[in-house]
Amino acid sequence: MKKRNETTVLYENNIVKINQEKNKDLFFEIKNEITTDVAEAVAIMMRMNVTDVWYLNIDFNNDSIIPYKCLYWLSGGSKEWITLEHYCKPWSECYKIFDEEFGSSVLNIINKSDSLNDIRNGFRRYLNLPVMYDFALEKNLIK
């Protein structure tokens, strides 16, 4: 029988729960979304009414970042990519295009960040929704 890792709750409210396993891996539960990718977690939380989590000092593993996961949320999230109200192609056809353009920016932001707030500020400054939409317009991904 496999031994279960011990976890510590670092933060919890009615929207977000952040656990850290004994091996230091983070586990984010944000409403119905679950991820171990800190960039994706920050992007999801930016779309919700989360306030006091940003100043939490936690160590995060940069090796577990998959840029297109947070780009999904930064470019509109499920609301946009499932309904395709503004986009003309599904995410499965677009994620590589976004990843090629913005993936290194995501990693640069993460590498320069010491907190969730630093990541959020980097996303707000360099990867905000107008930047994403301008890029999508340029690539003919918007209706």
Is the pLDDT reported for residue 1 higher than 50?
A: no
Is the pLDDT reported for residue 15 higher than 90?
A: yes
Instruction: Write down the pLDDT at residue 43.
Output: 97
Helices 67-74 and 129-138 cross at an angle (nearest 10°) of 100
Structure tokens at 30: 């944000």
Is the pLDDT reported for residue 76 higher than 80?
A: yes
Structure tokens at 13: 């409210």
pTM: 0.92
Is the pLDDT reported for residue 107 higher than 60?
A: yes
